Structure 1
Amino acid sequence: MTDTTPPNGPPNAPPDARTRILDAAEAIVQARGVPALTLEAAARKAGVSKGGLLYHFGSKEALLTGLLIRLAQAMSGDFEQAMARTPEGPGRVARAMLSWAFDDPGPGQEHQDRAAAVFLAAFHHDAALLDPVRELIGGIRAAIAADGLSPGVGQAIMCATDGLFMSHVFGLYRMTPAELAEVRQALTRLLEPAR
């Protein structure tokens, strides 16, 4: 059984059963936490039979794996869009990372909340399920290392933007828009010699 998400068909078409199941599982975890995520609850919320769910996901672990793969694909697409918006030159990956973290042209807070729920669900169930995201992050780390910046600059920017996301995931603190602007300015100043 594969965990690749098939296309959903033409625009405005209703989501396929697999997508509805993933959406339902994500909503359950976000609203009620990991303990509430059962195959029965996901099937009921998705409007499919338990057999229909088992056709796509044979276990809770397979369902969580599907959520993580979908999340990694979405993150990869978001980062690729940030790279496409970022001019060539030294520090391009780091500048794209700042754009990705601070500009977020996508669904913003809702997207972060869903991602946070999926991260926590996977970590709670089995930390190895985060491997698709680790692979994506590993690729970005390699690109940062070859970004033409002084040693440590790209990594500092990556650590700072990851820290902002993790503070959101764990609900440690929320920064005001003014604070976020100040942080972005400080991180951008790190890039000035490279530009």
Structure 2
Amino acid sequence: MTSKPQRKNNPEAVRARLLECAARLIVDHGLPALTLENVAREAAVSKGGLLHHYAGKNALIDGLFDEVVEWFDSQVEECIEPDETRPARFSRAYLRVIAAIDMTVPEEKRLAVLMLMLSSDPHYCARWNQWVEARLLRHEKTDLTPMARTLRLAADGLWLSDLGGGPDSSPSARREILAFLEELDAAGAVPASDPHEGEQ
């Protein structure tokens, strides 16, 4: 008698499905909906199978956070201009990525997960700040100016508007805001000379 072929497990695919289901639960129903039981049911795995990949709810959220930040980081990297001396180089890319987010695209909608985490948990706020600080350290020669900080704070404001579904989060408003900020950046990214320079 011939035995049935064994179906090979694909741990990476299972982890990806678990994270996708966790993200969907948070985006659609908020953080309280994220329970191990709900994620396991949505992903069509047993709770024991979930725990094999993620030791608990915190480990699952950590995995989701890491995945979303990795995606965001890759988008910023793609947007950074090649000229390493360009003022506000990182901050401009940071703004462009956030301004271009399309919440109708599932992969990009997952950024809502990050926004929810950052707005409700000091632990993830601290981890996000660590990512930003690491980037600023890498781009300290171009991105520690008032203009660079202004661009990043404007981008954070767009995220906050998305979180609350505000009127300024529409695609047309985003394009208008981005165009204005880029014009402002072009005019003021390089600090003006000291008005007192040369005085005795």
Could you say whether these structures have the same fold, taking a TM-score greater than 0.5 normalized by the shorter chain as the test?
yes
Q: With structure 1 as the length reference, what TM-score do the two structures score?
A: 0.76
Q: With structure 2 as the length reference, what TM-score do the two structures score?
A: 0.74
Return the alpha-carbon distance in structure 2 between the equivalents of residues 142 and 167 of structure 1: 28
Q: Is the 8 A contact 1:123 1:130 kept in 2?
A: yes
Return the alpha-carbon distance in structure 2 between the equivalents of residues 127 and 63 of structure 1: 17
Which of these two proteins has the greater Rg computed from alpha carbons? 2
**Matched position secondary structure for 1:54:** helix
The structure whose RCO (Cα within 8 Å, separation 6+) is larger is: 1
Return the alpha-carbon distance in structure 1 between the equivalents of residues 169 and 54 of structure 2: 38
Hey, what does 2:154 align to over in structure 1?
Answer: 160
Return the alpha-carbon distance in structure 1 between the equivalents of residues 172 and 35 of structure 2: 41
Counterparts of 1:130-141 in structure 2, within 5 Å, are 130-141=125-136
Residue 116 to residue 95, structure 1, CA distance change in 2 (3 Å): same
Return the alpha-carbon distance in structure 1 between the equivalents of residues 38 and 132 of structure 2: 31
Q: Structure 2: which 5+ runs fail to align?
A: 1-9, 191-200
Hey, what does 1:5 align to over in structure 2?
Answer: none
Count, aligned residues: 176
The answer to whether the aligner puts 1:119 opposite 2:124 as a matched pair is no
The answer to whether the aligner puts 1:61 opposite 2:49 as a matched pair is no
Q: Structure 1: which 5+ runs fail to align?
A: 1-12
Return the alpha-carbon distance in structure 1 between the equivalents of residues 100 and 116 of structure 2: 24
Return the alpha-carbon distance in structure 2 between the equivalents of residues 25 and 60 of structure 1: 10
Hey, what does 1:129 align to over in structure 2?
Answer: 124
Letter paired with 2:115? F
